[in-house]
């Protein structure tokens, strides 16, 4: 009861106090899987992102087969509302928001967005598995956008969690999890108070599992934050000194684990158990096992995945509240400053629980993951008529599948999702590529700056960030000191050609320490199609808490913006900076500006060669008979074979038809040896 009460209190605090949160990195890295890197090592590049998820594949050697014949599969629903106040300054604008992401046991099925002003939307997936939705809206007074995300979650009871795991030394950890050992301004692992608490909680144990449990219990006893330090911060040092809501508890738990050499990261999520804007928990890395979730304010360790739906797995390099004062939640933003007074809310619901064999549940999660991967990659991008027709057909099957699972019909769901997968494979647009990239290591190369009081400089910063984001150089508003009062200046890109594209995203890294709240000293991004008229791509960015009680924070933050409405144009980008008449900070620093996207398909090839373009990249659904090309390049003695999801050979394959009826449905890999090269492609075997 006490825990529940603490939790509910914490949830209420979350919306208000989420100021700074440690954002952690790329959970798709192979070693996120503990002992599964063997599997991932077999995957062709590009597929690893979608396949290196948690229990989406069943590895019998790690997780014993279900003996009672069934595990649970949960259907969850998350709803969100964004109320945009006021009127935009242009005919169309964009609003950005988080939705549940593909993450370990959790597989989003479909997103539904309704709003009278909605034009279309896209998923921005620059830092997998994190994604944001960019919705393009027609201007109107006070728009209300509602979204619903449907999510499958596979049961995980952590029954196979080991009881003793030695606390690792750094060289015993895979490189891919080491980013979550870093000191950040939210997890200040070298701060004296963090060091002291980390030592005292650890005491003499050498057991990672006991330490994690002790950290969980300790953080659950942290008091609520004291009012005397309002507005409170949410970083670990602050939480340990002054108390914390869920964000501070999560940062504290992550810091106490990191300070003891255990990778840990903050997860931003929507709890099913209590209505809340947002909630913060963590997961930590257990060598030989994988990531384990902990409800850090409620003292629940391990915490089952079906109770909290993750919308962001936090990256160390993505850790500061640019859209103050809401911290990470402030990543919800719009492209127009007229919407400074907007609001949002979201809630998660348990819909139903199914039970099936672990193989069937694994297959359903894997299939959902693949379908959602295509759906999120292709939604809202410009397609040829043939591609659009295939996408619409896939979306139709995906929608049918949702209705099936809502009716507790898992076999029907699988059939419809397989149909969706086949349709999406036929969409097959050009791959994502880098269209423009500038790291500022070779001078301004076409970038210019100016304004009535211009402070933009290119070089090595000696004030503000410890270094450029890449190499030696970045742009900054005065590289060796704070900016001045009454600045009004811009940093402008060369012309960038966005013609003949199907999609385009702008991404850049920004280190921002300005007088808090954009009303004072804002930085924002603008775009122009004619070189003279600029319109906003973002509203004003703050970034760093300027409360004197709170330790100064700052860091490089990665931001991704959607450029779909400028496709076809040749554009210039501008970073605008403006300061008012008093109070100055370090300023805004910009590095690594990049535009990536897909080139438009020509539309000439009415029937694209799906085999050639998708081999190695897309999964194929196989029923009963697996055909290998009977080409002369594959000799019978060549070592083509079928591997299971754990990378074990289950069948030698010959050119021509191969009977696979007897194999269990699931995820397999075909390894084909041709001359000196080996290729591996993924297939889904179904009955
Ligand atoms: Ca650079
Ligand atoms: Ca400066
Ligand atoms: Ca100021």
Query: Closest ligand to 515 CA?
Result: 3
CA of 537 to the centre of ligand 1 (A): 22
Q: Are residues 543 and 655 in the same domain?
A: no
Q: Are residues 520 and 629 in the same domain?
A: no
Query: Closest ligand to 521 CA?
Result: 3
CA of 338 to the centre of ligand 3 (A): 20
Per-residue pLDDT for 35 more than 50?
A: no
pLDDT score of 43: 25
CA of 592 to the centre of ligand 1 (A): 6
CA of 340 to the centre of ligand 1 (A): 31
List of residues 6+ apart from 371 with CB closer than 8 A: 109, 394, 398, 401, 417, 420, 421, 424
Per-residue pLDDT for 162 more than 90?
A: yes
Judge whether 205 lies within some domain: yes
Q: Are residues 558 and 491 in the same domain?
A: yes
Q: Which of 80, 138, 151 is nearest to 110 (CA)?
A: 151
Query: In this structure, how many other beta carbons lie within 10 angstroms of the beta carbon of residue 590?
Result: 26
Q: Are residues 532 and 583 in the same domain?
A: yes
User: Residue 171 maps to which CATH number?
Assistant: 3.10.620.30
Q: Are residues 506 and 648 in the same domain?
A: no
Provide the 3-class DSSP secondary structure of residue 395.
Answer: helix
Q: Which of 238, 508, 502, 506 is nearest to 388 (CA)?
A: 502
Per-residue pLDDT for 514 more than 90?
A: no
Per-residue pLDDT for 232 more than 80?
A: no
pLDDT score of 545: 53
Q: Are residues 481 and 595 in the same domain?
A: yes
Judge whether 363 lies within some domain: no
Per-residue pLDDT for 468 more than 90?
A: yes
Per-residue pLDDT for 541 more than 80?
A: no
Per-residue pLDDT for 423 more than 80?
A: yes
Higher pLDDT, 638 or 309: 309
Query: Closest ligand to 471 CA?
Result: 1
CA of 675 to the centre of ligand 2 (A): 57
CA of 477 to the centre of ligand 1 (A): 15
Q: Are residues 593 and 623 in the same domain?
A: no
> pLDDT grade, residue 356 (50/70/90)?
very high
User: Residue 553 maps to which CATH number?
Assistant: 2.60.120.200
Judge whether 336 lies within some domain: no
CA of 505 to the centre of ligand 2 (A): 27
Judge whether 77 lies within some domain: no
**Average pLDDT of the chain to the nearest whole number:** 81
CA of 589 to the centre of ligand 1 (A): 10
CA of 93 to the centre of ligand 1 (A): 30
CA of 551 to the centre of ligand 3 (A): 19
Higher pLDDT, 555 or 50: 555
Q: Which long-range contacts (CB under 8 A, 24 or more apart) does 368-371 make?
A: 368/107, 368/108, 368/109, 368/152, 368/417, 369/50, 369/51, 369/53, 369/56, 369/102, 369/107, 370/50, 370/421, 370/619, 370/684, 371/109, 371/398, 371/401, 371/417, 371/420, 371/421, 371/424
CA of 379 to the centre of ligand 1 (A): 32
Domain's final residue, options 303, 326, 349: 326
What range defines the domain where residue 161 resides?
A: 2-31+157-326
Q: Are residues 563 and 677 in the same domain?
A: no
CA of 463 to the centre of ligand 3 (A): 17
Domain's final residue, options 599, 629, 652: 599
Judge whether 405 lies within some domain: no
* pLDDT tens per residue across span 76-121: 999 998 888 888 888 999 998 889 999 999 999 999 999 999 999 9
Domain's final residue, options 599, 634, 662: 599
Q: Which residues surround ligand 1, an ion (CB under 5 A)?
A: 439-440, 468, 470-471, 473, 591
Q: Are residues 540 and 655 in the same domain?
A: no
pLDDT score of 520: 84
CA of 584 to the centre of ligand 2 (A): 9
Judge whether 299 lies within some domain: yes
CA of 475 to the centre of ligand 2 (A): 10
CA of 550 to the centre of ligand 3 (A): 18
Per-residue pLDDT for 306 more than 60?
A: yes
CA of 477 to the centre of ligand 3 (A): 13
Q: Are residues 23 and 170 in the same domain?
A: yes
Judge whether 87 lies within some domain: no
Q: Are residues 588 and 627 in the same domain?
A: no
Judge whether 234 lies within some domain: yes
pLDDT score of 277: 65
User: How do strand 290-294 and strand 279-286 relate by DSSP bridges?
Assistant: antiparallel
Q: Is the distance from CB of 509 to CB of 590 less than 8 angstroms?
A: yes
Mean pLDDT in residue range 28-43: 22
Per-residue pLDDT for 615 more than 80?
A: no
Number of domains in the chain: 3
pLDDT score of 392: 97
Q: Are residues 161 and 266 in the same domain?
A: yes
Of the listed ranges 80-84, 258-262, 453-457, the least confidently predicted one is: 80-84
CA of 552 to the centre of ligand 1 (A): 23
Mean pLDDT in residue range 600-619: 45
> pLDDT grade, residue 528 (50/70/90)?
very high
């Amino acid at each position: 009861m006490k825990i529940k009460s603490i939790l509910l209190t914490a949830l209420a605090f979350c919306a208000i106090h989420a100021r700074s949160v440690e954002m952690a990195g790329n959970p798709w890295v192979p070693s996120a899987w503990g002992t599964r890197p063997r599997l991932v090592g077999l995957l062709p590049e590009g597929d690893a992102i979608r396949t290196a998820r948690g229990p989406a594949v069943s590895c019998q050697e790690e997780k014993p087969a279900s003996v009672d014949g069934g595990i649970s599969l949960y259907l969850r629903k998350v709803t969100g509302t964004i109320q945009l106040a006021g009127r935009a300054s242009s005919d169309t604008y964009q609003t950005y928001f988080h939705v549940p992401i593909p993450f370990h046991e959790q597989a989003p099925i479909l997103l539904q967005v309704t709003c009278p002003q909605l034009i279309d939307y896209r998923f921005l997936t620059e830092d997998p598995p994190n994604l944001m939705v960019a919705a393009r809206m027609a201007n109107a007074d006070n728009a209300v956008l509602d979204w619903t995300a449907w999510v499958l979650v596979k049961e995980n009871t952590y029954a196979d969690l080991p009881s003793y795991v030695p606390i690792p030394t750094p060289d015993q950890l895979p490189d891919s999890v080491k980013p979550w050992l870093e000191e950040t301004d939210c997890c200040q692992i070298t701060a004296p108070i963090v060091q002291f608490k980390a030592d005292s909680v650890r005491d003499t144990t050498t057991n990672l599992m006991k330490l994690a449990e002790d950290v969980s219990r300790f953080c659950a006893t942290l008091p609520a934050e004291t009012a005397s330090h309002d507005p409170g911060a949410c970083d670990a040092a602050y939480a340990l000194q002054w108390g914390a809501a869920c964000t501070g508890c999560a940062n504290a738990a992550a810091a106490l684990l990191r300070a003891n050499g255990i990778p840990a990261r903050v997860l931003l999520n929507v709890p099913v158990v209590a209505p809340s804007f947002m909630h913060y928990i963590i997961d930590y890395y257990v060598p030989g096992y994988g990531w384990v979730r902990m409800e850090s304010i409620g003292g629940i360790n391990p915490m089952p995945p079906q109770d909290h739906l993750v919308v962001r797995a936090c990256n160390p390099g993505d850790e500061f509240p640019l859209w103050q004062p809401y911290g990470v939640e402030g990543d919800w933003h719009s492209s127009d400053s007229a919407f400074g007074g907007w609001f949002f809310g979201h809630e998660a619901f348990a819909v139903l629980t199914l039970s099936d064999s672990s193989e069937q549940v694994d297959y359903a999660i894997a299939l959902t993951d693949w379908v959602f991967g295509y759906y999120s990659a292709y939604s809202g991008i410009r397609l040829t008529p043939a591609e659009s027709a295939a996408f619409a057909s896939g979306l139709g099957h995906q929608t049918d599948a949702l209705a099936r699972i809502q009716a507790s019909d898992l076999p029907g769901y699988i059939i419809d999702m397989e149909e969706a997968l086949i349709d999406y494979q036929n969409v097959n647009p050009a791959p994502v590529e880098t269209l423009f990239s500038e790291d500022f290591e070779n001078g301004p190369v076409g970038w210019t700056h100016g304004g009535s009081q211009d402070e933009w400089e290119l070089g090595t910063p000696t004030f503000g960030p410890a270094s450029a984001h890449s190499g030696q150089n970045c742009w900054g508003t005065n590289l060796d000191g704070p900016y001045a009062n009454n600045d009004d200046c811009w940093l402008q890109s060369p012309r960038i050609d966005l013609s003949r594209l199907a999609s385009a995203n702008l991404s850049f890294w920004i280190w921002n320490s300005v007088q808090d709240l954009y009303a004072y000293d804002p930085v924002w991004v603008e775009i122009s199609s004619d070189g003279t008229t600029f319109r906003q791509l973002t509203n004003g960015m703050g970034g760093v808490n300027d409360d004197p009680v709170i330790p100064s924070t700052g860091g490089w933050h990665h931001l991704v913006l959607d450029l779909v409405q400028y496709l076809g144009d040749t554009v210039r980008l501008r970073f605008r900076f403006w300061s008012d008449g008093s109070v100055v900070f370090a300023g805004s620093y910009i590095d690594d500006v990049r535009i990536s996207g897909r080139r438009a398909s020509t539309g000439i090839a009415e029937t694209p060669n799906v085999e050639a373009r998708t081999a190695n990249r897309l999964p194929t659904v196989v029923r009963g008979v697996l055909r290998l090309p009977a080409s002369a390049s594959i000799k019978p003695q060549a070592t083509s074979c079928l591997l299971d999801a754990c990378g074990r050979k289950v069948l030698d394959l010959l050119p021509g038809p191969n009977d696979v009826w007897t194999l269990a449905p699931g995820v397999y890999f075909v390894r084909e040896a041709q001359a000196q090269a080996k290729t591996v492609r993924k297939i889904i075997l179904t009955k």
